Amino acid sequence: MKEIIYTNEAPKAVGPYSQAIKSNGFIFISGQIPIDPLTNEIVDDDIAVQTRRALDNIGGILKSAGLTFDAIVKTTVFITDLEKFAAMNNIYAEYFPNPPARSTIQVSRLPKNALIEIEAAAAAD
């Protein structure tokens, strides 16, 4: 069984995927790039601002499922420049006082030329 999760507090999918799927006690949140759900545009070209927006999008999805960031057990961060890791990490730490498992990967390009994309898995029970 799987349940599609959707909220207006995160941007609409830019392709054939769901914002998140709930299945077997977990919520799998699709990669969130820093799109403002109100304007449908990428936010400022600053890694800190983009990190905050991507995490706020994840927060909107969690909220729609009745969860908080404490439910996240794993994230994957895709970043276009590891030289910006420290600035990203400072913002990331604000959202995760009890950090989940995480992988961080430098990639050559992201959708809409975003600087960052973050996906997450959360325990729904």
> pTM score, two decimals?
0.97
Confidence of residue 10 (pLDDT cuts 50, 70, 90): very high
Q: Which candidate, 60, 18, 123, places its Cα nearest to that of 52?
A: 60
Q: Is the pLDDT of residue 125 over 90?
A: no
Interatomic CA distance for residues 117 and 55, integer angstroms: 9
Confidence of residue 14 (pLDDT cuts 50, 70, 90): confident
DSSP state at residue 13: P
Give the mean pLDDT of 31-54. 97
pLDDT tens-place string over residues 48-59: 999 999 999 999
Report the chain's mean pLDDT, rounded to a whole number: 96
Q: What residues does 101 pair with on adjacent strands?
A: 74
